[in-house]
Amino acid sequence: MKFKNEKSLFDNRAFKIVFSIAAAIACWMVVAFTISNTITDTIRDVPVTINTASTSYQSLGLDIMDDITNLTVDVKVEGARAVIGRLDKNSVRVTPSFTNVKEAGTYDLQLTVTKTNQLDDFNIIAVEPAKITLRFDNAVSRKVPVTANVIGLETSEDYIVDTPIINPSEITITGPEQDVDAVAKAVVNVEVNSVVDETIRQTCEVVLLDAEGEPIISDTLRLDNETVDVAVPVYKRGVLPLDIEFTNVPEGFDISSLHYSLSKTELNVAASTSVIDNLKTKIIGYVDLATFEIGESYLFDIELPSGMVNLDNVKQVTVTFPQEGLASKQINVTDIRVQNAPANMNVSVHTERISGVTVIGPQEDIDALLAGSVVAIVDMDEQIAESGSYNVPVKFMITSNSTTFVSGTYTVLIDVEPA
């Protein structure tokens, strides 16, 4: 029995849409995987691999003069759709053949394409371009110093510009011998165009110049450093006072009574603003009163801190002590005293007299000096505090004035024993 209102699924509009899409996909899969499974495609921008460490042309003393860092080609491949779809530029390796390179010159090199993985099932159809053109020549290297051109730098009257500091100070140029020989100098241009009061620092591009001073534009020359760091020191001027100091100054001695002269008492220098604005007297050396002799001169080197420029270019200063007005006298010292002896120790002095002690000072004070005015002191704070006998140094104190002092080194024998 049939019912007039019964309907087929194909009368349902939604069912017909879904059925049509499914049928289309099924047809595509049949075509894709049975009828048209083999396709061709192009792998683009595949890098050309050149093994510069082991090549036939190098045995001839030749080198590639062109830039080979960005050489790429397109490779046409054929195979199953599923295989071709997963290939990329790492799936193949492109290398040139150097067999026809026999001497310096320009050559068209045939390219060879191989699979990176030999198990991949696809065919290499073509490479575009099929050849690359490279120039070969005898490569040489030469070191060239770099100089700096400072452009538009101005300073005020109190400032100076020192020699630019370039790092690295020289570069290595590599290329054909004829091209390398054409390089007369390497320069960098430091553009400032302003008034400055501090050091200028820039990273600048190296420019090669020929003998006429014209820039060299070349794709055959290679530089180990395309840029360098440049510092242009800008310093403030200043005056640095110079002086000396003394060591082994006796207690109570008035050092201002000892007159001397320096061959140069101040130095014209240049440094950073902060350094110049806080200059203090530079002590160039020390005079030891223990070894002082009348009429002796002392030579001291001037050692300035890093970053300070000696504008006078004076390297040494002579310090002279005038003989006029000074005198010396040898006396025998019998007043020998012990200071700062430990409470648990007895210290006794065996030496009864220190003979020939040299005293230096103004003539009138030396003439009036008496032996009893010179006292020798053994300071136990600076000596061994254990039992035994020791030969120890002494200090001197002159009680009658503050303008004379003892020159020389003297010792006495002491005994140390428990109290």
Residue 17 lies in a domain: no
Q: Are residues 194 and 169 in the same domain?
A: yes
Average pLDDT of the segment spanning 321-333: 92
| Structure tokens belonging to residue 279 | 């200059």
What is the number of other CB atoms lying within 10 angstroms of the CB of residue 118?
A: 6
Kindly state whether residues 251 and 297 are assigned to the same domain. Answer: yes
Average pLDDT, integer, range 173-183: 89
Q: Is residue 2 part of a domain?
A: no
DSSP letter for each residue of 31-68: IIIIIS-EEEEEEEEEEBP--TTS-GGGGGTEEE-S--
| Predicted local distance difference test score (pLDDT) of residue 2 | 44
The verdict on 49 and 125 lying in the same domain is yes
The predicted pLDDT at position 251 comes to 84
Do 311 and 334 belong to one domain?
no
The whole domain housing 98 covers: 41-138
pLDDT of 377 over the 90 cut = yes
Where a domain ends, among 320, 336, 366? 320
Q: What is the mean pLDDT of residues 330-343?
A: 93
Under 8 Å between Cβ of 293 and 277: no
> Of 138, 163, 185, which residue constitutes the final position of a domain?
138
Q: What is the pLDDT of residue 115?
A: 94
Domain boundary among 177, 201, 232: 232
pLDDT by residue (tens digit) across 257-301?
999 999 999 999 999 999 999 999 999 999 999 999 998 899 999
| CATH number for the domain harbouring residue 303 | 2.170.120.40
The closest of 23, 34, 98 to 60, measured between CA atoms, is 98
Residue 32 pLDDT > 60, yes or no?
Answer: no
Confidence band, pLDDT 50/70/90 cuts, at residue 3: very low
